[in-house]
Amino acid sequence: MCIIKSNLNVNGLFDHVQSKLYVSSSSTASPKSRHVQIIEEHPLTGNHRLEILFPTLLSPQQENKFLKEAFYYKVDIPLSYFIERSFIQDYLQKGRVVAQSLGEGIDVSNVIALDGSDTYEQLGLPGKPAKFGPDRQRLVTQETQKITFPPTFNAKKFTIELNFEKLNDIIFPDMEVIKTASQDDHWRYDIVEIYDWFGVASLRTQRIRLQDNVDPYISIYTTPTPHLSGNGSLLCCTGFIPSSIILFLFKSIFDQFNNLNIPWVALSVWGFKDSPISWNKQEHGHFMIIIVF
């Protein structure tokens, strides 16, 4: 298994963190493997879009193995609601609630996340220092299952739907070249090439199609070598995606991996670029891939 995570300055207005590409490799059979921890450390405000790429065509029966009901709410809500006694007692102290404001840029306006202020001290909730920004920033996490909002808040419930797409005549990178981690320069080059390929594939571009013959004046991108060709299936969803759903899909991949008879599966996650909190309580990048061999 290989985990690739970008740490990019996606906002561009102010200097934050240096752009880096982090790669880690481990076996899920190892007691020291961090794959579950890495998934659980991504809060809901960091997971906006998810894709799972299979280098084979899935049957409808196989697709059903990955279905799970999930939902989130979009609410017109005053900030004062989060510090009301009933909300604290019913939800924050009994479970986990994660929320984020929408429609504002993190570098140009106020962006709110629960809990994105120092009110956690007044609520009696445990807080941890953020690893970026002013010292006054704190992060708080709790667990919850269901929230009932007052009718005046105009709460809308959205179901996270999993959509499947068939991919025909695709050029896939040969993952064997990165299966064994190494400090060798060739391995580093291959991992970057494969990371770029996943970025191109997420755009649904013709550059990875077997029949593509684009003029180099338009695009100089070339697929990694060595490579393979074939058909694939893409599972994707968009919304406020909780870590529990990602972990469920990750475990479903392992349950079906041998039955699918495929060499690898790739799970990709995109974050909200204007979220003030993200992976491991650090200022986030925008893209993470988990490749399962």
What confidence tens digit (pLDDT) does each residue in 57-80 have? 988 888 888 877 778 888 888 878
Verify that 148 and 280 share a domain, yes or no.
no
Q: Domain boundary residue among 124, 159, 194? A: 159
Q: Which helix (H) or strand (E) element contains residue 193? A: helix 185-202
State yes or no: pLDDT of 19 exceeds 50.
yes
Instruction: From 163, 137, 213, select the one nearest 50 (Cα to Cα).
Output: 163
Verify that 168 and 25 share a domain, yes or no.
yes
Who contacts 20 (Cβ-Cβ below 8 Å, separation ≥6)? 6, 7
Tally of domains in the chain: 2
Verify that 268 and 175 share a domain, yes or no.
yes
Q: Which of 92-106, 128-142, 152-166, 226-240 has the lowest mean pLDDT?
A: 128-142
State yes or no: pLDDT of 233 exceeds 90.
yes
Q: So what's the pLDDT on residue 54? A: 92
* Residue the block writes with tokens 């650090």: 282
Instruction: Please tell me the distance from the alpha carbon of residue 235 to that of residue 247, in angstroms, as a whole number.
Output: 15
Verify that 53 and 134 share a domain, yes or no.
no
Q: Domain boundary residue among 159, 174, 189? A: 159
Who contacts 150 (Cβ-Cβ below 8 Å, separation ≥6)? none
Sign of torsion, CA 171 248 182 280?
positive
Phi, then psi, of 233 in degrees rounded to 5 = -130, 140
Verify that 124 and 59 share a domain, yes or no.
no
State yes or no: pLDDT of 118 exceeds 60.
no
Instruction: From 169, 228, 221, 214, select the one nearest 196 (Cα to Cα).
Output: 221
Verify that 79 and 33 share a domain, yes or no.
no
Who contacts 144 (Cβ-Cβ below 8 Å, separation ≥6)? 91, 92, 94, 95, 96, 97
Verify that 131 and 182 share a domain, yes or no.
no
Mean pLDDT, range 172-190, rounded to an integer: 87
Q: So what's the pLDDT on residue 139? A: 30
Verify that 168 and 265 share a domain, yes or no.
yes
Q: Domain boundary residue among 125, 142, 159? A: 159
User: Which domain, by its residues, includes 239?
Assistant: 2-70+160-292
Dihedral angle, C-alpha 100, 286, 131, 244, nearest 10 °: 60
Verify that 155 and 285 share a domain, yes or no.
no
Coil, strand or helix at 236:
strand
Verify that 168 and 153 share a domain, yes or no.
no
| HSE of 51, CA atoms in CB hemisphere, 13 A | 21
Which amino acid is present at 42?
Answer: H
Verify that 167 and 151 share a domain, yes or no.
no
Which pTM was predicted? 0.77
Verify that 63 and 175 share a domain, yes or no.
yes
